[in-house]
Amino acid sequence: MKNNLKHFYRIAFWVSLVGLIAIISDFGYTQTVIYQKFIDGFYFFVLGVGLISTFTRSIQKFNLSRRRVFIFDLFSVIFTLWIFHMYLFVGTPFDTDLLLENPIWVKIAVLLTFVREFSELRINLNRTRLNPAQIFILSFLVIIFIGSILLVLPNATHVGISYLDALFTATSAVCVTGLTVVETGAHFTLFGQTIIMILIQLGGLGILTFASYFGYFFKGGTTYENQLTLSDITNSKKLGEVFSTLKYIILITFGIELFSALLIYSGTDPAAFHSPSERLFFSAFHSISAFCNAGFSTLSNSLYETGFRHSYYLQLIVILTFVIGGLGFPIVVNSLNYLKYLGSTFRPFSSRKNKHRPWVLSLNSRINLITTLFISMVAFFVFYILEYNNTLAEHNGFGKIVTALFGATTPRTAGFNTIDTAALYLPTLLLVMILMWIGASPQSTGGGIKTSTFAIALLNIMSLARGRSRVEVFRREIAEVSMRRAFAIITLSFIVIGTAIILISIFDPGIKLTDIAFECFSAYGTVGLSLGITSDLSSASKFIIIVVMFVGRVSMLSIAIAAFRKIKHENYTYPKEEITIN
């Protein structure tokens, strides 16, 4: 009996997967009347199999303690039965209820069925076959490949797109970069823009985050092997914190994106859109793109577009969104816990002083928050002074401050622009390249070498200058392994960027070296800012940028760890000897 049920559940998953493919085909191709009727009938077959699977699973594994799963299943069943009722007993989708005039509800129900069946799969992240770095890299490669195939579909674009350009766009979206070879708003249809938005979301969080947490959510547990692998990927200190970390990541992401989308919606002019639905999609797209630090925009000139470049309220919302996304999930969670602690200990009328101060804000959070604030403030003042009579000339007093703040923070992997980047002075361009190279904080949606790496490098220089043998800060000592990682990341970043600049200058000798260098720094930092040469690059140069974007997202150190086999730890040490440096 159990074996028969396992076979049925497996069949139900494959049926739901075919249903998902049918949805993609339905959106991606213009269907004939006969084939459309066949697809519509198949949707109901998928829903019927899903209902039987859900009822069987509920009877077999009835457990009221798993209320969240029960609520999801109950909602899914009611929603599916409602669709059956409306379509079979009320009327056809073309002559009755307003809801039935939009068959998107059927597709949503099929999608929910796929999510439910997929979550029941037993996914084994076997460390004996693939190490965590290899699994992490492979997941990005799979998403990029699937995304490139989807963007080639006829209904994804208005006039078609080559596979190389589709691969470039998919890589840029998954690696949350923002570099584009075609205009996102003008070249891609609503279906194509939706694919890009989904790729940005999956790339910002990682497909393993979604798959692992939903699998744990529905099954209520996982294997020890999966927990070990996910703890390495999420850098969780305890195995028991792995799925709570994933839960926080998903809740924080969707919560901030929803709140940001509402603010963006309220901060835009309705006259700039053809319909409320277009305005709503604009808000959701830019909210997701901002939090994931992707830099994609449906506007031709990003936020520099006429009607948006002077919308300072909108710019402040976008700044706040991508700065939070660039801080990283552990820092955001740790900062929220610290604020909660301050609120619990705040006694305005109490004369007693609490001498004991627990270490709530971690060293990692302190270093990254201070470095982020320091870099942003220095960049703001330099940008404001250098560009006061140049790109900031068209703005008023408050507008100059907001635009300068945007210009100082967006190079740290956000990628939006409210000015003409090609019009910047050369010193400002060099500053932007440095900011793109530094990037965002670790375990965030941004790229670059990361603020912690930059901070450790500066602390190491100060420590050597003072003649200290250890690097100490905030009454803590930086671990030697962190020092070695920082040095490796900085060295590898220069190797990748330098190699890319040399190769592109060979393949495209007619492009200025400054423009090539800017493009390569932007690609490695997953920023998306450009001086306008992206679409003019040769096929070979586009492929190089694709590789650099991918390396910048997963980090060259992760690729090196994935490529080389780990050696066993040996219990011996060689005699130490200093090497002459200077």
Q: What is the DSSP string of 454-515?
A: HHHHHHHHHHHHTT-SS-EETTEEPPHHHHHHHHHHHHHHHHHHHHHHHHHHHH-TTS-HHH
User: Which three-class secondary structure state does DSSP give residue 115?
Assistant: helix
- Token output for 14: 């494959």
453 with 338: CB under 8 angstroms? no
pLDDT of amino acid 241: 56
Rounded to a whole number, what is the distance in angstroms from the first to the last CA of the chain?
75
> Looking at this protein, which amino acid is placed at residue 514?
T
| Residues 170, 172, 178, 183, CA torsion sign | negative
* Stretches in the chain below the pLDDT threshold 50: 64-65, 93-102, 215-221, 224-229, 233, 239
pLDDT of amino acid 406: 93
Residue 55 and residue 77: Cα distance in Å, rounded? 9
- Token output for 252: 């924080």
Helix (H) or strand (E) holding 211: helix 207-219
Q: Which of 205, 45, 44, 222 lies closest to 120 in space, CA to CA?
A: 222
pLDDT of amino acid 39: 85
* Max CA pair span of the chain: 86
pLDDT of amino acid 94: 42
pLDDT tens for 75-98 read: 778 888 887 777 766 655 444 444
CA distances for 493 relative to 152, 170, 436, 571, angstroms: 32, 23, 12, 32
Q: What is the pTM of this model?
A: 0.84
